[in-house]
Chain A
Amino acid sequence: KAGVTQTPRYLIKTRGQQVTLSCSPISGHRSVSWYQQTPGQGLQFLFEYFSETQRNKGNFPGRFSGRQFSNSRSEMNVSTLELGDSALYLCASSLGGPAYEQYFGPGTRLTVT
């Protein structure tokens, strides 16, 4: 069974731009969660989607948004990028949700200059 894939793996953007990251979950997994990882902060929960519906959202500004498609693939969008958005963005899929064992993708390394 193929694992969670994320594209692109690396991205460099300029302040003020917007970016879209993509995540393809493990086949059969309907829950997709997004996390931001920065040094010293661990993994910060962004949001979780299940069957195209956002079920929960972390404490991030509205510039961070996401969506999920009928095939469970998910995208995350960040508008008006700031330098502090530079981080590793991880996507995780699971059968039932984040409270269950999650399978993570390798992440997208976003650098904002």
Chain B
Amino acid sequence: DQQVKQNSPSLSVQEGRISILNCDYTNSMFDYFLWYKKYPAEGPTFLISISSIKDKNEDGRFTVFLNKSAKHLSLHIVPSQPGDSAVYFCAASAGNNDMRFGAGTRLTVKP
């Protein structure tokens, strides 16, 4: 059951521009959301998170926006850098002991 969906398998942007990665979820019980970044041959690494009591969380070049009514969150990367090229996973939890991940979006930042 795909409770977390990342409908864009890939995204390509120019260096210096904004990257916007989107994620939709179906379970209204989800109350904590995270983004992970994955490079080839490595495990995912935590990037940024947001709880359902907030609608925005910012960490340097990375900002996550949460729209609870639309069950949608997005990750903005500004400005994008070639080193940001990776697969980005959106994840959500309902406060229980499992985490649901999306299928991932492969971001390519061109120099």
A40–B87 CA distance with the chains assembled, in angstroms:
12
Q: Does A56 contact B (CB under 8 A)?
A: yes
Q: Does A21 contact B (CB under 8 A)?
A: no
Q: Is B46's CB under 8 angstroms from A103's CB?
A: yes
Smallest CB–CB gap between A14 and chain B, Å?
Answer: 25
As a 0/1 sequence over residues 73 to 100 of chain B, the CB contacts with chain A under 8 angstroms (1 = contact) are 0000000000000000101010111111
- Count contacts between A and B, CB distance < 8 Å: 65
As a 0/1 sequence over residues 13 to 47 of chain A, the CB contacts with chain B under 8 angstroms (1 = contact) are 00000000000000000010101000011111100
B: number of interface residues (CB 8 Å): 27
The contact size tier of chain A is 20 to 34
Q: Does A99 contact B (CB under 8 A)?
A: yes
As a 0/1 sequence over residues 14 to 49 of chain B, the CB contacts with chain A under 8 angstroms (1 = contact) are 000000000000000000101010000111111001
Kindly list chain B residues whose C-beta atoms are within 8 Å of the C-beta of A103: 43, 45-46
B-side residues, CB < 8 A to A, are: 1, 4, 6, 9, 32, 34, 36, 41-46, 49, 89, 91, 93, 95-104
